[in-house]
Amino acid sequence: MHRPRTVGEAVGALTAEAGAGRRVWLLAGGTDLVPALRAGSREPAVIVALRRVLELRARGAGADTLTVGAGVTYAELAGWSLAPGLAATSRVVGSVQIRNCATVGGALGSANPRGDLLTFLTAAEAEILLASARGPRTTGIAAFLRDGLEPGELVTAVRIARPSGPQTYLKIGGRQAAFPALVSCAFLVDRVRQRVCCAVSGVAAGPWRVTEAELLAGEEVDWSTGTASPAVARRFGELAAEVLRAAPPLPEDPRHPADYRAHAGGVLAARAFARCLGPARHEEAA
């Protein structure tokens, strides 16, 4: 096992082990990897433990952006007032014990198509910061989820725009926090660019932007007041459901058919719209 103290040392360990032809697992919170190793669903390999790499556990705020290190836990994000949508998402991930251990980088590494954080990052059009022996690299969340990590690469941080309007995160599941979401929805309002961004998970093969519905919102919202009528919220949800029905589906779930999940995604989208842009909206809507 390697226990690096810097990103450079971590990258060096990855490079050396890969060069020797050995499989490497990255260990941060361990909420996915440790149970998988115990269950035998992942082959034993060299482990690079990242908890001592303080660079990965930093948060920062710039003039226009927020940066979250890959080693930051959900518990640390749950009360972050600078990022209300990210905080709201973090508060409903897993149990208290999971939130205390699970990290941003771990969520990106596991790339669960129903993952709460991935849904929010998709709506937020996040940038993923990466490091390898070849140097630093930045890619968008959509490209990252499509292409994954390059050999010998490590996620170092996530960067999102500073909020310029209400944000919220809603989900449907057996119990809100203890189990993975059946369907979830992240919704962000960008008052500066006069648009909304909405991503839904649990229906398509990954977090899915409901672009056609977003375009409707941009045209129908009264941006002078930051509100829209209940009729617009309903139409937004209907359009979102139509978009989701046309998306590449997740494997069929006999208890929750694809059409039901698309409908549920539309309902969540309408609720999120009303929460952020309705007449009685909450300013931060988290």
Q: How far is CA 41 from CA 35, 77, 108, 145, in A?
A: 9, 30, 19, 22
Q: How far apart are CA 40 and CA 24, in angstroms?
A: 16
Q: What is the pLDDT of residues 108-139, one digit of tens each?
A: 988 888 889 999 999 999 999 999 999 999 99
- Bridge partners for 53 per DSSP: none
pTM of the model: 0.90
Whether residue 131 is contained in a domain is answered as: yes
Q: Are residues 185 and 243 in the same domain?
A: yes
Q: How confident is the model at residue 159 (pLDDT cuts 50, 70, 90)?
A: very high
- Bridge partners for 172 per DSSP: 183
Whether residue 192 is contained in a domain is answered as: yes
Q: How confident is the model at residue 230 (pLDDT cuts 50, 70, 90)?
A: very high
Give the residue numbers spanning the domain of 133: 7-161
User: Are 40 and 86 within 8 A, CB to CB?
Assistant: no
Q: Are residues 78 and 177 in the same domain?
A: no
Whether residue 186 is contained in a domain is answered as: yes
Q: Are residues 87 and 109 in the same domain?
A: yes
Q: Are residues 220 and 82 in the same domain?
A: no
Q: Which domain CATH number covers 46?
A: 3.30.465.10
Q: Please give the pLDDT value at position 17.
A: 83
Q: CB-hemisphere CA count at 13 Å for 265?
A: 34
Whether residue 209 is contained in a domain is answered as: yes
Is the pLDDT reported for residue 4 higher than 90? no
| Mean model confidence pLDDT for the chain | 88
Q: What is the pLDDT of residues 265-274, one digit of tens each?
A: 999 999 999 9
Q: Please give the pLDDT value at position 201.
A: 96
The answer to whether the Cα torsion of 89, 54, 15, 22 is positive or negative is negative
Per the structure block, which two tokens stand in for 187? 């919704």
Tell me which of 136, 161, 186 is where a domain ends.
161
Q: Please give the pLDDT value at position 43.
A: 67
Tally the domains of the chain: 2
Is the pLDDT reported for residue 241 higher than 70? yes
Per the structure block, which two tokens stand in for 227? 């509100």
What's the 3-state SS for the chain?
CECCCCHHHHHHHHHHHHHCCCCEEEECCCCCHHHHHHHCCCCCCEEEECCCCHHHHCEEECCCEEEEECCCEHHHHCCCCCCHHHHHHHHCCCCHHHHHHCEHHHHHHHCCCCCHHHHHHHHCCCEEEEEECCEEEEEEHHHHHHHCCCCCCEEEEEEEECCECCEEEEEECCCCCCCCCCEEEEEEEECCCCEEEEEEECCECCCEECHHHHHHHHHHCECCCCECCHHHHHHHHHHHHHHHHCCCECCCCCCCCHHHHHHHHHHHHHHHHHHHHCCCCCCCCC
